[in-house]
Amino acid sequence: MSTISHIFKKNLGCSINTFINKIRIERAKELLLNTNDPIEQIGAAVGIPDASYFSRVFKQLIGFSPSKFRQRFR
């Protein structure tokens, strides 16, 4: 682990990649609730162009798939 990664994880409690994904998913939540854009397009808009990876990361962090999140909270 690089020094910066170690310091980041020590201070924020998660890896740099996890932190970035959390920011991406927070933006994706806003887009899911406030637009009719397809889920694949939202994934790409937040920097995760692979739709299956986007769905996997979203579900891991939120507990719902993007489509279930949209249905449940819209």
Mean pLDDT of 8-28: 96
Average predicted confidence (pLDDT) for the chain: 96
10 Å CB burial of residue 74 (0-12, 13-18, 19+) is: exposed
pTM: 0.91
Check whether domain 17-73 has CATH 3.40.50.300, yes or no:
no
Average pLDDT for 25-43: 98
Question: What pLDDT is recorded for position 41?
Answer: 98
Confidence of residue 33 (pLDDT cuts 50, 70, 90): very high
Give the mean pLDDT of 23-39. Answer: 98
pLDDT for res 1: 66
Comparing C-alpha atoms, which of 67, 59, 2 is closest to residue 32?
67
Count of Cβ atoms closer than 10 Å to residue 43 Cβ? 25
